[in-house]
Amino acid sequence: MDEWTRLVRSGEAVLVGPIRQEILSGIRDERSFTAIQEILGDFRYLEIQPFDYDQAARFFNVCRARGVSGTAIDLLVCAVAHRFDVAIFTTDTDFQRYASHLEIRLHESLPRSSPAPD
């Protein structure tokens, strides 16, 4: 079982609204859109507060001052994760650059158990 599946099945995976929007954006087939929309409805969502936007702007400024460019949505995700003290699960390498300058954590997969010897 891959790490994302493990997190989802264990109930550890949470989302923020902008990620839901990114997942659903560009799905042209209405049946697929509706199916994925229903699946995403099962996740727990971290609520975005007005001060998260302020923190995202601070994070943007810190990154920019250090030569790292970031998107508003990425840094909003960082701000919310920072406030809730949750690790960010991502395959987007931009977050590795953010993490080297911001007080955020990236999810590290659990080590896979080795198969039992024969």
Q: Specify the pTM.
A: 0.84
Ordered by where they begin, the domains of the chain are 3-99 (3.40.50.1010)
Q: What's the mean pLDDT in 94-103?
A: 96
Model confidence at 116, in pLDDT bands (50, 70, 90)? very low
Report the 3 state secondary structure along 37-63. HHHHCCCEECCCCHHHHHHHHHHHHHH
Query: Which pairs count as long-range contacts for 114-117, CB under 8 Å and 24+ apart, including other chains?
Result: none
Mention every residue, 6+ apart, whose C-beta is less than 8 A from residue 53: 76, 79
Question: Residue 75: in which H helix or E strand, if any?
Answer: helix 72-84
Q: What secondary structure letter does DSSP report for 106? A: B
Q: What is the pLDDT of residues 1-32, one digit of tens each?
A: 588 788 888 888 999 999 999 999 999 999 99
Measuring CA to CA, which residue among 18, 73, 10 is closest to residue 40? 18
Question: Residue 103: in which H helix or E strand, if any?
Answer: none
